[in-house]
Structure 1
Amino acid sequence: MTETISQAVAARDNSPSGLIKQYSESFAQVLPSHVKPATWVRLAQGALKRGKRADDGRFDLEIAAANNPGVFLSALLDAARQGLEPGTEQYYLTPRKVKGRLEILGITGYQGHIELMYRAGAVASVVAEVVRENDEYRYQRGIDEVPIHRFKPFARDAERGKLVGVYAYARMKDGAVSRVVELNQDDITRIKASSQGASSEYSPWVKFEAQMWLKSAVRQLQKWVPTSAEFRMELARAAAEAQRVATAPDAPAGTSLLHGDVLEGEVLDEASTDEHTAGGADEDVWPATAPAGGAQ
């Protein structure tokens, strides 16, 4: 007997883990080429099995994902487009309450922002550190190249004291140092106040406070270093143009190829990926996203 559409839908695994597998091809279409789709899918499925368990044995993230599959899949699609690992410090998956029910909130972590900087190809290293009240910290803009930050080796957080600031800077491959970003407690308070669901018991601001301070500084640093694919394409274009000029029949004597050129003085925005859409056959249409609302 031919299986009816309703029977096929009923037999489909619509659990959060099953949905990840079901839409794995959609994720693969937007993942950067250096990320293996099968590995990324396994990481996404494993991320659901962390955190607190409810009375029915399910984890909070599983419950949140099942409550609103559209929001859950949208968060994973966001992580996939950036090529970041979901459920890690690259890309947090955290529950939040909306109208009394848990839903998934996807947040790019500080390690994710750093990863995007490295991928652009101009950054050799990124330094991001929190400063506590008992630390030694000194930096004079225009005089010091980078901050001087010292504290007792292996000192515990209690010894170093409460968080009072955070800084970040990048050293470029040509040896130059980016602008040093410094944020104090007032800066962090303003950023936290504008963050969705920051006061929730599940928020990274509550569970991973130091990491969120680091993220805030690294996000500001992104304004001062290249982070986009556009930068890499411009480098490739410049190299190709140099090759063309150097090999032209009428090239001046002594012309040589350019190596390691770095664009300066321009901040390039992240290339938009909004043109990517998931789907295909009717059965692959993504679940509708419920409207946002309620407690954040």
Structure 2
Amino acid sequence: MATNTLKDRVRAATSDKPEPVAAVEGASADELHAAERSEGGETTDTVMTWLERYDAHFTKALPSHVDSRVFLAAVRDALPGLARCTPASLLQALLTCARFGLVPDGKHAVIKREGKLAVFVPMYQGYVELMYRSGRVGSVHVGMIHAGDEWNYEPTAPAPLDFTHKPALDVSREDRGKPILAYAFCWLAGGARSQVVILTREDAEEIRDEYSEAYQRARDAGRTDSFWHTDFDSMWKKSALRRLHKVVPMSAELVQLTRADDAGDAGQVQLFHAPDEDAQLLADAKAAHRAAEGSQEPRVPVPLPRKKSSGRSQPRRTTRRQRTTRRRRR
């Protein structure tokens, strides 16, 4: 009998004769979506016992700088909200999160329940973490301008005079006012500053309505549990940061993180890439950066076509008869 539900798999994992659990890495989309969970009362400790059977997988997926104990502690805290998720999707989401070296602590990443599926969702701090890790940026700045803040944006002025922001931190939150703009920019490792990306609330709402399938599914079902519903400001800043990626160099890992984020939002299976795909992803990232920013190098002049010389300018060829006639005349 197949162990498709979390309850069955936990029992199999903790029994004296556990049934084998299918490897998630090779699972198809149909297999991940077909697993169902029956109503039950699994405890967090029991589920953690089941997940610990895959400790070697998590250790292999996590980068060396991420402590596995910190990662698993964050997983334990998140498990109560994931009790209804299928085991295959839960394991897949956690392994994907580990692959990017992000801790599901609610700040860098979140494992969210979509129906019976667990979905890995990187937050804007997770994007910032991977930007720093790439070694291509010196500092990243993501923030929000409130109505009572002092700020100036003049895109025609030279950097860094084109944008300034002084938060009104000496007043109450009420006096500071509501957020009116989200912005993102970074200083590159070479010392140059990137373009400043600014999004109004209206811009963020347009991005939400046009591109977020998770928001649309929740809205159509009459639910208000998407991140655009529950944490609009974070998604607002995340949108500004993702738009910044179009004008700054991206690492292969950031390209893949964006793809995994989009797949989760679309309700598709999230798969982390194999190491041999890094070269192709890096090439895609460089191509996207060149297309967005435009080449600043002078164009190589195209040589003008040469005019073909006529036959008269070339020495004439003489026949044997002509040469014989010339010798006789001499």
Match of 2:122 in 1: 108
Determine which of 26, 36, 54 is the counterpart of 1:23: 54
Report the AA paired with residue 129 of structure 2. E
Determine which of 209, 224, 240 is the counterpart of 1:217: 240
Match of 2:99 in 1: 81
Q: Normalising to structure 1: TM-score of the pair?
A: 0.64
1:179 CA drift (Å):
1.4
% identity of equivalent residues: 30
2:167 aligned with 1:151, yes or no?
yes
Aligned ranges 1:45-194 → 2 under 5 Å: 45-48=76-79, 59=80, 61-64=81-84, 67-96=85-114, 98=115, 103-146=117-160, 147-193=163-209, 194=211
Q: Distance in 2 between matches of 1:32 and 1:226?
A: 22
1:141 CA drift (Å):
1.3
CA 1:222/1:18 → structure 2, altered by over 3 Å: closer, same or farther? farther
1:136 CA drift (Å):
2.9
Q: Find the structure with the greater CA-based Rg.
A: 2
Deviation readout 1:237-283 (Å, 9 max, x if unpaired): xxxxxxxxxxxxxxxxxxxxxxxxxxxxxxx844994237xxxxxxx
Report the AA paired with residue 138 of structure 2. A
Q: Which runs of 4+ in 1 moved over 6 A?
A: none
Report the AA paired with residue 170 of structure 1. C
Alpha-carbon contact 1:117-1:222 (below 8 Å) kept: no
1:115 CA drift (Å):
0.4
CA 1:214/1:29 → structure 2, altered by over 3 Å: closer, same or farther? same
Match of 2:214 in 1: 197
Report the AA paired with residue 17 of structure 2. A
Alpha-carbon contact 1:17-1:45 (below 8 Å) kept: yes
Report the AA paired with residue 101 of structure 2. G
Alpha-carbon contact 1:138-1:149 (below 8 Å) kept: yes
Q: Distance in 2 between matches of 1:154 and 1:23?
A: 50
Higher fraction of helix: 2
CA 1:156/1:108 → structure 2, altered by over 3 Å: closer, same or farther? farther
> Which structure 1 segments of 5+ residues have no match?
49-58, 231-267, 277-296
1:7 CA drift (Å):
4.9
Q: Comparing both chains, which one has the higher relative contact order based on Cα–Cα distances under 8 Å and sequence gaps of 6 or more?
A: 1
CA 1:196/1:63 → structure 2, altered by over 3 Å: closer, same or farther? farther
Deviation readout 1:129-170 (Å, 9 max, x if unpaired): 112233333111131424212232244443233332211000
1:174 CA drift (Å):
2.5
Alpha-carbon contact 2:102-2:109 (below 8 Å) kept: yes
Q: Distance in 1 between matches of 2:99 and 2:149?
A: 39
Match of 1:283 in 2: none
Report the AA paired with residue 71 of structure 2. W
CA 1:81/1:134 → structure 2, altered by over 3 Å: closer, same or farther? same
Q: Normalising to structure 2: TM-score of the pair?
A: 0.58
Alpha-carbon contact 1:165-1:185 (below 8 Å) kept: yes
Report the AA paired with residue 214 of structure 1. K
